[in-house]
């Protein structure tokens, strides 16, 4: 297989975004390419920007909480904010979003309360999933948002089934589904895209190619030149977009949504981005990648890039940034305080909702647990 040198390629933003098949809107100087600019109203571009900044604020704060031992885990999106927010924003209100695990930004974009998200991070008794899952494993059906699962790829075929079901019921609802570059190797990527093609399901496959699957770079994940080419194997459309360009991402994903909505089938969208942070709070990427590479990618920071664009329009400045940050941080702090004060879920939550009605053996086990001694409060 690969030699050691190949394991840590220096992949620069330039070498990876060149080639005219990568769709881009925002130019280095902050102006936009008039041929590709989706011309979103300015208030909406501002909303996208704020959502990206908020995502970053939340990420940084949660990482701190984890280091302080106040939460158990966080899986962040540093550097991937544009592709997450841009794609989520391109989905129409009635469309569905099936998450991978790195898209809390999309969840909040959909209007999910920050407080509830933080409750999920703490797994307390107001966490909608009752502290049953790890942090960042949220569910939000009311927001037409799926349920995070750890096993890689499983959501992909599910999204196809749901999209098919919606169309079967005569609804104009498109389903988007997120996954990483690593997930393109999974069984369910193959099956999901193949079924999506054959069933002509209204689905948008959103691949966040952040160049790493924990310690494995995309070059070792597949020998394919471009992940978007994998669409050919399924007879569906494949496109590549600069995932650090929120306007480009929005436009490409919206087009895919519209195609799906018109009954023209699924699209695989490869969103080129970069995982600036570790894989999660459990990971230290210095063990496998050179800082050099990371620094070069910092230069393409999607937030800096969008801000430059906003500045060309005089739509944003330091004062507004400061105000927005202060406000958001305060809000988050309040949420954290409240979440920390909440209780653990009830003991009974272990035993309910395994089935629609609790069967005899779980009744017995619940009674045994509740009437037995408590575990030491260890952790």
Ligand X SMILES: Cc1ncc(C[n+]2csc(CCOP(=O)(O)OP(=O)(O)O)c2C)c(N)n1
Q: Which of 8, 17, 214, 220 binds a copy of itself (CB under 8 A)?
A: 220
Q: Are 49 and 305 in contact (CB under 8 A)?
A: no
Residue 210 binds which of Mg ion, another protein, a copy of itself, none (CB < 5-8 A, kind-dependent): Mg ion
Q: 167 or 275: whose CB is closer to ligand X?
A: 275
**To the nearest whole angstrom, how small is the minimum distance from the Cβ of residue 196 to a copy of itself?**
9
State yes or no: residue 190 binds a copy of itself (CB under 8 A): yes
State yes or no: residue 180 binds Mg ion (CB under 5 A): yes
Q: Which of 32, 124, 158, 210 binds ligand X (CB under 6 A)?
A: 210
Q: How many angstroms separate the CA atoms of 175 and 151, rounded?
A: 20
Distances (CA, A) of 312 to 26, 38, 244, 315, 316: 11, 16, 18, 8, 9
Quick one: which segment of 126-134, 209-217, 293-301, 309-317 binds ligand X (CB under 6 A)?
209-217
Q: Are 176 and 87 in contact (CB under 8 A)?
A: yes
Is residue 101 part of the annotated active site? The answer reads no
State yes or no: residue 12 binds a copy of itself (CB under 8 A): no
Q: Which of 211, 279, 305, 309 is catalytic?
A: 279
Site for a copy of itself in 258-277 (CB under 8 A): 265
Order of strands across the sheet that contains 175-180? 22-23, 237-242, 267-272, 203-209, 175-180, 96-98, 145-147, 139-140
Q: How many angstroms separate the CA atoms of 136 and 123, rounded?
A: 10
Q: Which of 119, 173, 181, 270 binds Mg ion (CB under 5 A)?
A: 181
Per-residue DSSP letters for 225-284? S-GGGGGGGGTSEEEEEETT-HHHHHHHHHHHHHHHHTT---EEEEEE----S-SSTT--
Q: Which of 70, 288, 296, 320 is catalytic?
A: 288
Q: 65 or 213: whose CB is closer to Mg ion?
A: 213
Q: Which of 198, 304, 330, 367 binds a copy of itself (CB under 8 A)?
A: 198
Q: How many angstroms separate the CA atoms of 42 and 39, rounded?
A: 8
Is residue 168 part of the annotated active site? The answer reads no
Closest CA to 21 of 168, 225, 314, 275: 225
Q: How many angstroms separate the CA atoms of 80 and 317, rounded?
A: 23
Q: Which of 167, 275, 305, 307 is catalytic?
A: 275
Site for ligand X in 151-180 (CB under 6 A): 151-152, 179-180
Q: Are 138 and 112 in contact (CB under 8 A)?
A: yes
Distances (CA, A) of 60 to 53, 55, 320, 335: 11, 9, 20, 15
Q: How many angstroms separate the CA atoms of 272 and 173, rounded?
A: 26
State yes or no: residue 73 binds another protein (CB under 8 A): yes
Q: Which of 32, 155, 210, 249 binds Mg ion (CB under 5 A)?
A: 210
Chain positions contacting a copy of itself, by CB under 8 A: 1, 185, 187, 189-191, 194, 197-200, 220-225, 229-230, 232-236, 265
* Active site residues per annotation: 275, 279, 288
Chain positions contacting ligand X, by CB under 6 A: 102, 150-152, 179-183, 208, 210, 212-214, 275, 279
Chain positions contacting Mg ion, by CB under 5 A: 180-181, 210, 213
């Amino acid at each position: 297989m690969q030699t050691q040198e190949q394991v840590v390629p220096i992949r620069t933003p330039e070498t990876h975004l060149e080639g005219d098949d990568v769709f881009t809107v925002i130019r280095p100087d902050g102006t936009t390419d008039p041929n590709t600019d989706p011309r979103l109203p300015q208030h909406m571009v501002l909303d996208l920007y704020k959502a990206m900044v908020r995502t970053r604020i939340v990420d940084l704060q949660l990482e701190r909480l984890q280091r302080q031992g106040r939460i158990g885990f966080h899986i962040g999106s540093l550097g991937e904010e544009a592709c997450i927010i841009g794609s989520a924003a391109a989905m129409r209100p009635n469309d569905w979003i099936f998450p991978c695990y790195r898209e809390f930004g999309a969840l909040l974009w959909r209007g999910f309360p920050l407080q509830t998200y933080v409750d999920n991070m703490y797994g307390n008794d107001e966490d909608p999933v009752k502290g049953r899952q790890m942090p960042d494993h949220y569910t939000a059906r009311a927001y037409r948002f799926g349920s995070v699962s750890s096993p890689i790829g499983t959501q992909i075929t599910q999204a196809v089934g749901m999209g098919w079901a919606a169309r079967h019921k005569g609804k104009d609802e498109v389903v988007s589904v997120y996954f990483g570059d690593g997930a393109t190797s999974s069984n369910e990527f193959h099956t999901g895209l193949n079924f999506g093609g054959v069933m002509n399901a209204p689905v948008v496959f959103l691949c966040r190619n952040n160049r790493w699957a924990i310690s494995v770079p995309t070059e070792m994940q597949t020998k394919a030149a471009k992940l978007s080419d994998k669409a050919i194997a399924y007879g569906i459309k494949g496109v590549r977009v600069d995932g650090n360009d929120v306007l480009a991402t929005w436009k490409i994903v919206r087009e895919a949504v519209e195609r799906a909505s018109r009954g023209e089938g699924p699209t695989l969208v490869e969103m080129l981005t970069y995982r600036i942070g570790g894989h999660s709070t459990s990971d230290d990427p210095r063990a496998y990648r050179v800082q050099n590479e990371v620094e070069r990618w910092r230069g393409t920071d999607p937030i800096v890039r969008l801000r430059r664009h906003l500045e060309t329009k005089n739509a944003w400045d330091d004062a507004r940034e400061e105000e927005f940050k202060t406000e958001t941080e305060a809000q988050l702090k309040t949420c954290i305080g409240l979440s920390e004060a909440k209780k653990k879920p009830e003991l009974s939550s272990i035993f309910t909702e395994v089935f629609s009605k609790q069967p005899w053996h779980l009744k017995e086990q619940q009674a045994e647990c509740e009437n037995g001694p408590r575990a030491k409060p260890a952790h």
